[in-house]
Structure 1
Amino acid sequence: MINANFLIKPTWEHPQSVKVFTTTRLGGVSAPPFNEFNLGMNAGDDPERVLQNRRMLSALIPDDPIWLKQVHGNNVSTPASRLAQDQGPFEADAAVTNRANEVLAILTADCMPVLFTSKRGDVVGAA
């Protein structure tokens, strides 16, 4: 299991019902140059190690995350159900949901993630 010290939790004000964190590169199983906690399937890392890292992440969250295939455009995904995940990742650069316990995941390297929520916490998004 990943050490909670390897997570960055925001200090901005948000509803208690919204759980937010950012992972770091520490605490995973990927070998250099991907070390250690690589979650991206398209960087050239061993896919089994990436899947192991993703399983470690899944232990911290209420459901499997919705992974986006980021396309550097202006598409926003509004996943209607978990069944859509069976068709592979959504091609989009942001996702928004109003479903409780639905986990949105945004992969970043040298980009800053943008996370947002309604004041009530009933709508959240990641870009």
Structure 2
Amino acid sequence: MRNFKFAGVVRKYFRPYTLVRDSGGTWVKGKWVPSPPERLQRSGSIQPVSARLRATEGGDYTETDRMLYTTAVHATGERIDYLGVQYNVVESPDREYSDINQYLLRKVVANASV
């Protein structure tokens, strides 16, 4: 399979964002004490999900969802902080043909049902 090199073209649109990782915690006198989250600087291009994609997927995507294009690797469930808004990585399709990774980000809503 042919591998396409898009990173050089897309890199000029990259902006910094923060990857927020849970760094675990420790047991202190029988009580779990969580450690503060680890914050790692990354760069990528975060774009709104297109209206056409929102319509074709039957309204599964909202206006607050974003697409992340980056050379970094993320796992589903990781949290990203961009311009003061937190997002969860909910989808990471396989892109074996490109050096740019694409991720679907959903905005974290404090009062969302679980």
TM-score scaled by structure 1? 0.25
Which structure is larger by alpha-carbon Rg, 1 or 2? 2
TM-score scaled by structure 2? 0.27
The structure with higher relative contact order (CA 8 Å, sep 6+) is: 2
| Structure with a larger share of its residues in strand | 2
